[in-house]
Amino acid sequence: MTNIDKVTILGTGVMGSQIAFQIAYSGFDVSAYDINEEILEQARKKFAHLAAVYEKEVPNANSDKTAKAIARISLSSNLADAVADADIVIEAVPEVLEIKRDIYEKLAKVAPAKTILATNSSTLLPSDMKDFTGRPDRFLAMHFANMIWKLNTAEIMGTPDTDPAVFDTVVAFASQIGMVPIPIHKEKAGYVLNSLLVPWLNAAADLAAGGYAEPEDVDKVWHIATGAPLGPFQIYDIIGLKTPYNILSHGDAHEQKLAAWLKENYIDKGKLGISTGAGFYTYPKQV
Ligand code: NAD
């Protein structure tokens, strides 16, 4: 058990909406924050969509349980209101250091002293952000995987300043919300998952952008020759193309070329992955 009751999620995009819904589904009160009412309206649609997904894919889920989850989520575009009584804040804003810095500096002023702050950042180290938080001892990374309801790892990674008791609380909390907690013993860019996944996705982009093979054929080789269920471009579509784009565009010259290829051929055409109905493949339209 932990003393966490109230949870705030910052950002209601691909991951924030899933994290908010999963935590509410697990019985916690959740406050979901985003920058304006229009985006919060989209978040409402995302929660309704997730309810349908849970009813279909999560064992023992039903419309009563998903309706209760939605009822436990409150939405706000006012940061101070959203975090007023939070025991933990989980940040899932875009993977851009300046945006993270801005939100942590604002959060440091309005979050109560008791509040634990956790970042869902995929590629930044918590040490890159700890000085913006005003409370490095209560700050760490809690990294979820996309499709949280079934791909349910939570990689927990502190900095040298993180209080071990806070680390243990977050590991226990991860179990309470249906995750399999994976403690990472020292800071590692990309944790376990992305240390494996990012080089693999980059290698796939390199093959397609370099004209060596079509994305579908890259996936086909991976399926047939390794027996893995999903190929790299199917994974791109699940992640959503913007996050890999942000990562690549901050990389070396070659990675920036791959970012430009993603932008020109997919992102600029509105092909952002499953959430927009098209990416490398096409899908039934979602919200
Ligand atoms: P996203 O672009 O889908 O969503 C980001 C959300 O943050 C949007 O709703 C946006 O309106 C909001 N936002 C923008 N500026 C903000 C601000 N200043 N304050 C509050 N909200 C703001 O991004 P995402 O894919 O959900 O990624 C969010 C974080 O989760 C990133 O750090 C990313 O590395 C990490 N992550 C992503 C995945 C993935 O598969 N997409 C998986 C694990 C972790």
Residue 144 CA: which ligand 1 atom is closest?
A: 43
How far is residue 195's CA from residue 190's CA, in Å, rounded to a whole number?
5
CA 217 – ligand 1 centroid, Å: 30
* Residue-level pLDDT at 284: 83
Q: What is the DSSP string of 202-224?
A: HHHHHHHHTTSS-HHHHHHHHHH
Output the pLDDT for position 281: 97
Q: Choose the weakest-confidence range: 16-20, 24-28, 250-254.
A: 250-254
- Cα(183) to ligand 1 centroid in Å equals 23
Tell which one of 243, 247, 286 to mutate to probe ligand 1, the residue whose CB is within 8 A of the most ligand atoms. 243
State mean pLDDT over 25-45. Answer: 98
pLDDT score recorded for residue 286: 62
Mutation test of ligand 1: which of 44, 122, 267 has the most ligand atoms closer than 8 Å to its C-beta? 122
Share of the chain above pLDDT 70, in %: 99
User: How far apart are the C-alpha atoms of 174 and 156, rounded to whole Å?
Assistant: 9
How much of the chain exceeds pLDDT 90, in percent? Answer: 93
32 sits in which H/E element? strand 29-33
Q: Which of 179, 177, 176, 135 is nearest to 158 (CA)?
A: 135
- For residue 16, the model assigns a pLDDT of 98
Ligand 1 touching residue 232 (CB < 6 A)? no
Residue 287's pLDDT is 54
Instruction: Say what the pLDDT of residue 194 is.
Output: 87
Q: Are strands 153-157 and 139-144 parallel, antiparallel or unpaired?
A: antiparallel
Mutate to test the pocket of ligand 1, among 93, 151, 155, 237 (most ligand atoms within 8 A of CB): 93
Please state, in angstroms and rounded to a whole number, the distance separating the CA atoms of residues 208 and 224.
Answer: 18
Kind plus residue range of the DSSP H or E element containing 116: strand 116-119
Per-residue pLDDT at 53: 97
Q: Are 286 and 280 in contact (CB under 8 A)?
A: no
| CA 98 / ligand 1 centre spacing (Å) | 13
pLDDT digits (tens, 9 = 90+) for 206-251: 999 999 999 999 999 999 999 999 999 999 999 899 989 998 998 9
Listed in sequence order, the DSSP H helices in the chain are: 14-25, 37-57, 63-72, 79-83, 97-110, 126-129, 164-176, 193-209, 215-226, 232-239, 242-249, 253-265
Average pLDDT, the chain: 96
* DSSP bridge pairs for 275: none
Give the position of tokens 């249906």. Answer: 178
Residue 1 pLDDT class (50, 70, 90 cuts): confident
pLDDT at 166: 98
- Given pLDDT bands bounded at 50, 70 and 90, which one contains residue 122? confident
* Whole-number Å distance between alpha carbons of 277 and 287: 9
Mean pLDDT of 89-102: 97
Domains of the chain (ranges; CATH) run 6-184 (3.40.50.720), 197-276 (1.10.1040.10)
Q: Is 119 exposed, middle or buried (0-12, 13-18, 19+ CB in 10 A)?
A: buried
CA of 13 to the centre of ligand 1 (A): 5
How far is ligand 1, taken at its centre, from the CA of residue 185, in Å?
25
- Per-residue pLDDT, 277: 95
Could you please report the per-residue DSSP string of 164-209?
A: HHHHHHHHHHHHHTT-EEEEESS--TTTTHHHHHHHHHHHHHHHHH
